[in-house]
Structure 1
Amino acid sequence: MRIIKLDAINSTNSYLRELISKGNVEDFTVVSTKNQTKGRGQMGTVWESKTAKNLTFSVFKDVSRIETDQAFYISVVTALAIIKTLKELGIPKLSVKWPNDILSENKKICGVLIENVIKQSQLKASIIGIGLNVNQTEFENLTKASSLKSISGRVFVLDEVLVALVLNLEYYFGILETGDFKVLKKEYEVNLFRKNKPSTFKDAEGSMFSGFIKGTSPEGKLVVLLEDEIIKTFDLKEISLLY
């Protein structure tokens, strides 16, 4: 892996995208910053992080061997790599809040933003942006946020966590590139937050309803068991899980 360290940048994803536009980028090139001034999350949300307390970084991955309809597995391997890393660090009660937020118990400790580069309807590259709360302990107006230090009481060396996480990304992408989708999907679904538990959801119109998360479809949609034994799949823009 090649790691590019920056003191401050508006967005590591944007910086990496600019690098790609200028020429060849080595697989698993990492752009990491102490201060990301315009970090982005899923669905246009903002990712806030205190300077030099957390990990904010992006990873370049060549995904040209992956079919476009298998793009969800990029999220799967990213989530699994993060969970494996955090388990190795002794963080308890980990789960994936679909599609790729990482929780400890019911507190969010990590967010992911994946931007795929597609040319002529073919996947070419992925820019995997990861924000991991490490040593920050105060989160203003974010009652559902926590960090590795808050949970464990330990201070972590950011560079060590970063290297371990990227090595686990390499491990899971290795499995993906062998085409072993069933193994990845099974492990991902074992870690799904609130799987098989009664949960409350909100749809795009703001209506609330109850159901049980059963898993994910091959395309990455959330599979929910509704009333009267009806199974329905939902896209990211169609549903949000309320705790």
Structure 2
Amino acid sequence: MRIIKLDAIDSTNTYLKKLSVAGGAEDGLAVVAKLQTQGRGQMGTVWDSQEAKNLTFSVFKDVSFLQLTQHFYISMAVSLAVYDGLNSLGMKDIKVKWPNDILSDNKKIAGILIENVIKLNVITGSVIGIGLNVNQTDFTGLPSATSLLLLSGQVYNLDEVLDAVLKQIEIHFNYLKTKQFKVLKAKYESQLFRKNKPSTFKNAEGSVFSGYIIGISDNGQLLVRVEGNIIKSFDFKEVVLMY
């Protein structure tokens, strides 16, 4: 696996997407930056990270073997790769908050932004951006954020953490290549944050309701059991888990 290391860049995802368009991104290419000046999260949010304290990187993966309708399995594979990478480092109580935030001790430790390259209704590649809080301790204004250092009291070598996650990405994309979708989905659902626990949600109209997360659909919708034992499905922008 080839790794490009940069001191500073606006966004590793943007950098890697440009490489992909130019034909210079082979399967497994990773771009790592000490500092991202315009790091992005889901739905246009900003990923704020102190320079050289955390991991901000992107990986290009060839996913041309997948159908467009199977795109959420990419998110499952990446979420589980980060999950297993952190477990291999001895981290405990790791959970996946749908669709792909990684939590530990109920606080966010990693975020994932996946941007698929689609041509003629076919997914040809996937640019996977990962922000992982490693050695940062000051999260002023971000009370729900944490880091490996805060959780364990241990300072981590960034290259070792990167290697642990990249190895798991290769392992989990092999599940995709061999079409072990049921295995991925079962493992993903088993690690879902607040699964089968009474939870509060807010829908796109701003209404608050209670329910139980029971899993996800094959296309990645969140399945919630609400009053009357009714199961409702929600796309990412249609509902927010309030806890």
TM category (shorter chain) comes to over 0.9
- Give yes or no for the alignment of 1:54 onto 2:58: no
Q: Using the TM superposition, give the Cα deviation of residue 25 of structure 1 relative to its aligned residue in structure 2, in angstroms.
A: 1.7
- The answer as to whether partners of 2:88 and 2:164 remain within 8 angstroms in 1 is no
User: 1:25 maps to what in 2?
Assistant: 25
Q: Using the TM superposition, give the Cα deviation of residue 90 of structure 1 relative to its aligned residue in structure 2, in angstroms.
A: 1.0
- Give yes or no for the alignment of 1:74 onto 2:99: no
Q: Tell me, which stretches of 5 or more residues in structure 2 are unaligned?
A: none
Q: Using the TM superposition, give the Cα deviation of residue 134 of structure 1 relative to its aligned residue in structure 2, in angstroms.
A: 0.2
Letter in 2 for 1:32: V
Letter in 2 for 1:196: N
- Give yes or no for the alignment of 1:137 onto 2:100: no
Give the distance between the partners of 2:24 and 2:132, measured in 1 at CA.
27
- Give yes or no for the alignment of 1:165 onto 2:165: yes
User: 1:94 maps to what in 2?
Assistant: 94
Give the distance between the partners of 1:161 and 1:120, measured in 2 at CA.
37
Letter in 1 for 2:122: Q
Q: Using the TM superposition, give the Cα deviation of residue 197 of structure 1 relative to its aligned residue in structure 2, in angstroms.
A: 0.1
Q: TM-score, normalised by structure 1?
A: 0.99
Give the distance between the partners of 1:140 and 1:154, measured in 2 at CA.
20
Q: How many equivalent residue pairs? A: 243
Runs of 4+ in 1 over 4 A off after TM superposition: none
Q: Give the superposed CA RMSD.
A: 0.6
Letter in 1 for 2:229: E
Q: Tell me, which stretches of 5 or more residues in structure 1 are unaligned?
A: none
Q: Using the TM superposition, give the Cα deviation of residue 171 of structure 1 relative to its aligned residue in structure 2, in angstroms.
A: 0.2
The 3-state SS of whatever aligns with 1:64 is coil
The 3-state SS of whatever aligns with 1:219 is coil
- Give yes or no for the alignment of 1:37 onto 2:44: no
Give the distance between the partners of 2:26 and 2:64, measured in 1 at CA.
14
Letter in 1 for 2:89: L
User: 1:154 maps to what in 2?
Assistant: 154
Q: Which moved further from structure 2: 19-28 or 213-222? A: 19-28
Q: Using the TM superposition, give the Cα deviation of residue 22 of structure 1 relative to its aligned residue in structure 2, in angstroms.
A: 1.3
Q: Deviations over 1:29-83 (max 9, x none)?
A: 0000000000000011100000000000000000000110000000000010001
Give the distance between the partners of 1:9 and 1:173, measured in 2 at CA.
27
Give the distance between the partners of 1:52 and 1:84, measured in 2 at CA.
23
- The answer as to whether partners of 2:109 and 2:148 remain within 8 angstroms in 1 is yes
The 3-state SS of whatever aligns with 2:228 is helix
User: 1:211 maps to what in 2?
Assistant: 211
Q: TM-score, normalised by structure 2?
A: 0.99
Within-5 A mapping of 1:6-25: 6-25=6-25
Give the distance between the partners of 1:37 and 1:15, measured in 2 at CA.
12
Q: Which moved further from structure 2: 24-33 or 65-74? A: 24-33
Letter in 2 for 1:64: S
Letter in 1 for 2:168: N
Give the distance between the partners of 1:78 and 1:46, measured in 2 at CA.
20
Give the distance between the partners of 2:173 and 2:158, measured in 1 at CA.
22
Letter in 2 for 1:113: L
